[in-house]
């Protein structure tokens, strides 16, 4: 279970971390605890599954990536693991995950590819396809970026 200090920690880390050289020290100071204790409690909550992950949210368009495409791949089931290992090596790919195929939708691997222009994105997609030797794919370009927020706990 989580105690009141854990709840306070969750409140602090569920939104934007402070932009400072030592964000966890800053949070620890706010909570009047030692940074080591803060990090240990976060580690325990991660191990117990109370916190699933801590990650950054990048607003791609704000930093110049205007061509963002979900590329869906029809990869033979026996090649998914090997292809996935190759896909994640491409720095232009921010997400890579497997889904079940559906009737009339044979695609089982989904990737998000980010580039500055549509032409650059197309070049990346061809490079990626060549690296996994899979050419059965569809490109779905983003037209609008929706607000990225997470659920807030213990407000």
Q: Which helix (H) or strand (E) holds 70?
A: strand 67-73
pLDDT tens readout for residues 77-108: 999 999 999 999 999 998 999 999 999 999 99
Q: In the prediction, which pLDDT does 3 show?
A: 94
Answer whether residue 62 shows pLDDT above 70: no
Coil vs helix vs strand at 117 = coil
pLDDT tens readout for residues 108-150: 999 999 989 999 999 999 999 999 999 999 999 987 766 666 7
Tokens of 17: 């971390």
Cβ-count burial 117-127 (b if 16+ within 10 Å, e if not): eeebbeebbee
CA atoms of 33 and 40, how far apart (whole Å): 11
Q: Report residue 36 CA to chain centroid gap.
A: 26
- Say if residues 139 and 71 touch (Cβ distance below 8 Å): yes
CA atoms of 138 and 125, how far apart (whole Å): 10
CA atoms of 55 and 93, how far apart (whole Å): 16
Q: In the prediction, which pLDDT does 53 show?
A: 84
Domains parsed from the chain with CATH numbers: 4-48 (1.10.10.2890), 61-141 (3.30.70.3460)
- Say if residues 44 and 93 touch (Cβ distance below 8 Å): no
Q: In the prediction, which pLDDT does 148 show?
A: 62
- Say if residues 93 and 87 touch (Cβ distance below 8 Å): yes
Q: Which residue has the higher pLDDT, 60 or 72?
A: 72
pLDDT tens readout for residues 28-54: 999 999 999 999 999 999 999 999 888
Q: In the prediction, which pLDDT does 80 show?
A: 97
């Amino acid at each position: 279970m989580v105690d009141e200090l854990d709840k306070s920690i969750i409140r602090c880390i569920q939104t934007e971390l402070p932009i400072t050289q030592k964000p966890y020290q800053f949070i620890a100071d706010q909570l009047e605890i030692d940074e080591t204790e803060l990090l240990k409690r976060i580690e325990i909550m991660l191990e117990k599954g109370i916190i699933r992950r801590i990650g950054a949210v990048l607003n791609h368009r704000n930093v110049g990536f205007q061509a963002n495409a979900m590329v869906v791949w029809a990869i033979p089931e026996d090649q998914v693991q090997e292809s996935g290992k190759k896909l994640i090596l491409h720095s232009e790919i921010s997400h890579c995950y497997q889904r079940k195929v559906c009737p009339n939708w044979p695609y089982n691997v989904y990737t998000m590819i980010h580039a500055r222009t549509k032409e650059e994105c197309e070049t990346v997609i061809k490079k990626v396809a060549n690296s996994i030797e899979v050419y059965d794919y569809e490109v779905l370009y983003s037209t609008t970026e929706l607000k990225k927020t997470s659920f807030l706990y213990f407000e």
